[in-house]
Structure 1
Amino acid sequence: MNDNDRFSNLLGLARRAGKLISGEQQVLQSIRSQKAKLIVISTDLGAATRKKISDKCTTYQVPLLAFMNREMLSQAIGQSRSAVAIEDQGFAKALLKLNIEEGA
């Protein structure tokens, strides 16, 4: 199992555990309410939406990953989405660790 598969599996597990929020407005609300520990967006997200989410993440100091395309992200969580918020520190740490290892 490679890191992409592990990343996808962790996203799915976070969703089943109720620690994943999906959809642009819900993700922005999670950032504003300071519940989000990590934001994952698809690499093919539109420029305006990407900027909106990126600016909120910068303002509230939430890590942001653009890691997989929309199709892969949607398949990982079982919903058609291009942005998700992780609201659990443990899942966020594990996903960041996998992404760092993947980029190495």
Structure 2
Amino acid sequence: MTQEIAEKKIINLLQFARKAGKVVTGADACIRELNSRGLRLIVIANDSSDRSVRRIKHQINELDLTTPLMRLGSQEALSNALGVHQTGIYGVKDKQFAARMLEYHSSIANVEEQSAN
């Protein structure tokens, strides 16, 4: 599977999860959900601010969580696809959606590793 196809599949899953009410948007909302241990995955746009990313990582470390982080796309592309205000951080609350997105994301990493060899 190519990187482009995998990214489209991840975005499609994010759209389904949002329609199901399983996505929170923005750093503050994600931090609140992390505090209640309600997030299974955090998707961060590649052009998100370093400060926002540091806040999320700090909260994960403070709470000793294992919530995975995924870098994907741009803030504009993700926000437009999900129909929300422009933000670069999205939290996925559903275990199955998160697992499937991570599966597609790992296929991207495998493709990148193979092309490097």
Q: Shorter chain as normaliser: what TM range?
A: over 0.9
**CA distances 1:27-50 after superposition (whole Å, capped 9, x unpaired):** 110111100000001111111111
Q: Distance in 2 between matches of 1:21 and 1:9?
A: 16
CA distance in structure 2 between the partners assigned to 1:92 and 1:75 by the alignment: 20
Secondary structure of 1:60's aligned partner: coil
Unaligned runs of 5+ in 2: 111-117
| AA aligned opposite 2:38 | K
Residue 72 of structure 1 pairs with residue 72 of structure 2: no
TM-score, normalized by length of structure 2? 0.83
Secondary structure, in 3 states, of the residue corresponding to 1:68?
coil
Q: Given the two structures, how large is their TM-score scaled by the length of structure 1?
A: 0.93
Bigger fraction of residues in strand: 1
2:67 alignment partner, SS class: coil
Aligned length: 104
% identical aligned pairs: 26
Aligned pairs (5 A) from 1:19-38? 19-38=22-41
CA displacement 1:22-80 (0-9 Å, x = unmatched)? 11111110111100000001111111111111122333221111121111211221112
**Which amino acid in structure 2 is aligned with residue 35 of structure 1?**
G
Contact 2:7–2:72 (Cα < 8 Å) also in 1: no
CA contact (8 A) 1:24 1:83 kept: yes
Q: Which structure: larger Rg?
A: 2
Q: Which residue of 1 aligns with 2:68?
A: 63
After superposition, the CA RMSD in angstroms is 1.3
Q: 4+ residue stretches of structure 1 with deviation over 3 A? A: none
Deviation larger for 11-20 or 47-56: 47-56
Tell me, which stretches of 5 or more residues in structure 1 are unaligned?
A: none
- Mapped pair 1:93 → 2:99: yes
